[in-house]
Amino acid sequence: MSIYRVSVHRIQGTVGYQFQNWANTYSCRPEFYFEPASVEEVRQVLELAKQRNKRVKIVGCGHSPSDIACTDDYLIRLNKLNRLLQVDTKKKQVTVEAGMVLADLNEELAKLGLALSNIGAVSDVTVGGVIGTGTHNTGIQHGILATQVVAITLLTAAGDTLECSDTVNHEIFQAVRLHLGALGVVLNVTIQCVPAFKIHLQQFPKTLTEVLNDLDTHLKQSEYFRLFWFPHTDKVTVSYADPTDKPVKTTSSWLWNYAIGYYLLEFLLWIRSIEQVKRSDKAFNFDCLFKQHVSDWSIPIMQIRPALEQLKNWLDSNPNVQAHFPVEVRFARADDILLSPCYKQDSCFINIIMYR
């Protein structure tokens, strides 16, 4: 099918565009694909969709491992609505357009001496996208990324602009902070930042039994604590990450970056302690070079032991199932965002990756 641009109504749309998510697991061919350059153009797409009884989806960077951004009707990418709009240096808050990619935001914040207090494993994702799916990282004092959001400007299906925050349209704010792309177009997002910081990363080996027995200590010991459990074994790599004033110090991360086989990776990582100091966003991110299937389960933190034991038992009784990568266990603070996996409970995320 060929791709061509047409003028629909007053805006340019593309016919024949194929959307593919990052992992190449889902794709779609929307009837029209748009890259609006202004809010007015977004509004025109919504108006057209209403007239023709079509649904509209927004796509960020397409990093969701699901088909959540797919549609047969109209697809909008906000890559041209990606500016830093406002900086409140006193409150350490920035307002950005929702199409802004975190990699660009991290650089803008660094210039201002600011940073995001926590981000996920990649920065090739948009501000609108990360809050859409409840993106999280780790650290029991820290909520999912959406908890850093203090205000949102939403464009509703009717074409109205709605401001929402803790004090204005509070209920809508609680819903739209994790919107699943289903509540309208997120136009602008105001984010609470923190002073720029570096992170001291330390990794060291333990057994699963030891880590589960000392879980509370680990959670208190390190601000961004996580663990990697090597299925088919009792081995765990504990990862501590904490703010530091130490100078930047990096070592090669080739172990992570190359597919050297699960069992070799397991052995090398487990025997090796790693220590690095990096700018915060560089420390949170890591190179996910390989296309993968991901399932990331959120459970109440109290359930971590039975959940991992059950997973371990299931693997033991299904020897034909081979793990491809360590199971990553992360933690997040309770919040009050309506659709959050951490709604009113401190939670633990169990992340299972299988390479494609």
326 near ligand FAD (CB under 6 A): no
Candidates 161-169, 179-187, 302-310, 311-319: pick the segment binding ligand FAD (CB under 6 A).
179-187
Q: How far is the CB of 291 from ligand FAD (least distance, A)?
A: 9
Contact 120, 137 (CB under 8 A): yes
Q: How far is the CB of 113 from ligand FAD (least distance, A)?
A: 25
Alpha-carbon Rg for the chain, nearest whole angstrom, is 21
- Give the one residue of 13, 30, 36, 128 binding ligand FAD; rule: CB under 6 A: 128
Specify which residues 279 forms β-bridges with: 198
DSSP summary character for residue 91: T
Contact 328, 351 (CB under 8 A): yes
Distance CA 233, CA 261 (A): 15
CA-closest candidate to residue 243, choices 195, 310, 315: 195
Q: Rule CB under 6 A: which of 264-293 touch ligand FAD?
A: 288
150 near ligand FAD (CB under 6 A): no
Q: Rule CB under 6 A: which of 27-66 touch ligand FAD?
A: 57-64
125 near ligand FAD (CB under 6 A): yes
By C-beta, is 135 or 222 nearer to ligand FAD? 135
22 near ligand FAD (CB under 6 A): yes
Helices first, then strands: H and E counts in the chain: 10, 21
List Cβ neighbours of 82 (8 Å cut-off, separation of 6 or more).
Answer: 96, 97, 99, 100, 101, 104, 126
By C-beta, is 126 or 340 nearer to ligand FAD? 126
By C-beta, is 113 or 123 nearer to ligand FAD? 123
- Please give the helix or strand (H or E) that residue 281 lies within, else none: helix 280-284
- Give the one residue of 110, 180, 307, 334 binding ligand FAD; rule: CB under 6 A: 180
**Number of residues forming the site for ligand FAD (CB under 6 A):** 32
List Cβ neighbours of 64 (8 Å cut-off, separation of 6 or more).
Answer: 21, 22, 129, 132, 133
Distance CA 87, CA 105 (A): 12
Distance CA 329, CA 230 (A): 11
By C-beta, is 38 or 209 nearer to ligand FAD? 38
Q: How far is the CB of 299 from ligand FAD (least distance, A)?
A: 15
227 near ligand FAD (CB under 6 A): no
Candidates 8-16, 46-54, 173-181, 311-319: pick the segment binding ligand FAD (CB under 6 A).
173-181
- Give the one residue of 132, 139, 143, 326 binding ligand FAD; rule: CB under 6 A: 132
Contact 336, 166 (CB under 8 A): no
75 near ligand FAD (CB under 6 A): no
Map tokens 């350490």 to a residue.
92
Residues in the site for ligand FAD, rule: CB under 6 A?
A: 22, 57-64, 68-69, 78, 98, 120-122, 125-126, 128-130, 132-133, 135-137, 179-181, 185-186, 288
